[in-house]
Amino acid sequence: MIKQNNNYLIMKNFTKEKIIAILKDNTQNEWLFSLADEIRKENVGDEVHLRGLIEFSNICKRTCKYCGLRCENKEIDRYRIQPDDIIKYSQKAVEMGYKTIVLQSGEDEYYSCDVMCEIIKGIKNLDVALTLSIGERSFDDYKAFKDAGADRYLLRIETTDKDLYKQMHPYMDFDNRIRCLKDLKTLGYELGTGCLVGLPNQTVESLADDILFFNKIGADMVGIGPFIPHPNTPLKDFKTGDFTLALKVMALTRIIMKDINIPATTAMETLNPNGRIIALQSGANVVMPNVTTREYRAKYEIYPGKICVNEEPSQCRHCIEAKIKSIGRIISKTKGFHKTC
Ligand code: 5AD
Ligand code: FES
């Protein structure tokens, strides 16, 4: 497996110092990406898992400084998709061949525990895996969602640097976010987390901590994306995150965590027209095509320039399938659980 007699290769244990050294050194990036690709192939094979993403509400009570959905953004046209319609769109996604549905929204209390459970049960009747990405909730809510049939949960830590976390989320509590991640793990969800790369004041040292954190918390999935400044947020004048650095964080996560699921994120494609394919060739094995109908897509503007806002779900499916096949990879027919589970 080891291609070159390179210093980085002989280290089994990735210490923080070694990760920092790799993140700072741009002379061996191609080698790093191909090593991650090789480790991906050995551990999770050539299959790419497609997860159908439904962005069902852009209403959010939070004020994350980077996010276009933050409640202080008055420029955005807010929407909520009703439970029956969410189930209907899920059904369409299943008919298109999706084996996993991902339900994502802002933190919107309209979807109470009972309402969510109703949606979860409706979708689980379709014989698909279900991932939730609806933010911080109580242990009891997470338990009810699990009992109703939810399989996975995505909740990015965003950054493990507590000071930066406070700057980015002045009214949120880092410890509660950790509590959520631990509760989800305890309850038996497949746990997804991840971080942003390129936030103002973020250091490579803290990115190294993020990678080690993903491993320590036992993440089954890790999503990493570059920060993209949104014009209607307090971070509008800050620099866009670096695509290559985000790719390196992702590749290192693959090298260290080996068999987890790693999406080629939409934010990567927003910065580079071939971003998802490059990510799939640098450690990623999952893509999350949007299956939300066109009328809502542009309104779910977490960051500007989001891809596929003018497409319908079937167009996205065909487009990404063709791209994946063009690099010799296979569309998975399974639900794509983390294999150690
Ligand atoms: N740029 C890139 N990613 C963002 N997210 C939120 N705002 C932005 C932005 N401006 C990411 C967060 C969140 C995920 C759903 O979208 O990491 O967890
Ligand atoms: Fe909605 Fe951050 S702005 S969770």
Q: What number of other Cβ atoms are within 10 A of residue 239's Cβ?
A: 11
Tally of structural domains, the chain: 1
135 close to ligand 2 (CB < 6 Angstrom): yes
Residue 71 CA to ligand 2 center (angstroms) comes to 8
107 close to ligand 2 (CB < 6 Angstrom): yes
Q: Is residue 74, in this structure, part of any structural domain at all?
A: yes
Q: Is the pLDDT of residue 193 over 80?
A: yes
Q: Is residue 196, in this structure, part of any structural domain at all?
A: yes
Ligand nearest to the CA of 227: 1
Q: Is residue 176, in this structure, part of any structural domain at all?
A: yes
Spatial distance between the Cα atoms of 149 and 188, rounded to a whole number of angstroms = 11
Ligand nearest to the CA of 135: 2
pLDDT, tens digit, 9 for 90 and up, residues 152-164: 999 999 999 999 9
Q: Is residue 204, in this structure, part of any structural domain at all?
A: yes
Q: Is residue 291, in this structure, part of any structural domain at all?
A: yes
267 close to ligand 1 (CB < 6 Angstrom): yes
pLDDT, tens digit, 9 for 90 and up, residues 251-279: 999 999 999 999 999 999 999 999 999 99
Domain carrying residue 244: 31-331
Q: Is residue 1, in this structure, part of any structural domain at all?
A: no
Strands (DSSP E) contained in 265-318 are: 286-287
| Shortest-distance Cα residue to atom 16 of ligand 1 | 302
Specify the amino acid at residue 281: Q
In 3D space, the residue among 146, 140, 71, 76 whose CA is nearest the CA of residue 108 turns out to be 71
Q: Is the pLDDT of residue 11 over 70?
A: no
Residue 7 CA to ligand 2 center (angstroms) comes to 41
Q: Is 80 helix (H, G, I), strand (E, B) or coil?
A: strand
Q: What is the reported pTM?
A: 0.96
Spatial distance between the Cα atoms of 323 and 55, rounded to a whole number of angstroms = 23
How high is the pLDDT of residue 339? 74
Q: Which domain CATH number covers 283?
A: 3.20.20.70
Residues 6+ apart with CB under 8 A from 219: 191, 192, 193, 257, 260
Spatial distance between the Cα atoms of 194 and 208, rounded to a whole number of angstroms = 12
Spatial distance between the Cα atoms of 49 and 99, rounded to a whole number of angstroms = 8
